[in-house]
Amino acid sequence: MSITVAITVAVTMSKSKAPEYPEFNTQTPELRKTIATAITAIPTDHWVRPHKNELFADPEDAFIRIRNWGFTQGILFVKESISNKRGR
């Protein structure tokens, strides 16, 4: 079973070079270095924006892909807790 996720985002990146993470005035040089290291650990096909009708094996794979791309853009994606025991 495949899942199609349709996303429209207006950002383009090169797959040959790690994306430029946005700079925020609260980031120290050490934090920027840590962020750059984390981005290089993300699969390079996750550096480019998700495209319409991209196929995923399951919803968790889709979330990981979107979360990874978002991180390279300075965006954090979160999802709600699955159960009320963990809170919302």
Look at residues 22, 19, 54 and name the one whose alpha carbon lies nearest to residue 64. Answer: 54
Boundaries of domain holding 78:
3-86
Look at residues 29, 11, 18 and name the one whose alpha carbon lies nearest to residue 75. Answer: 11
Q: What count of other Cβ atoms lies within 10 Å of the Cβ of residue 69?
A: 23
8 A C-beta contact, residue 54 and residue 4:
yes
For the residues 58-70, what does the mean pLDDT come to?
92
pTM of the model: 0.64
8 A C-beta contact, residue 2 and residue 57:
yes
Q: pLDDT tens digit string along 8-40?
A: 333 344 445 677 777 777 889 899 899 999 999
How many domains, the chain? 1
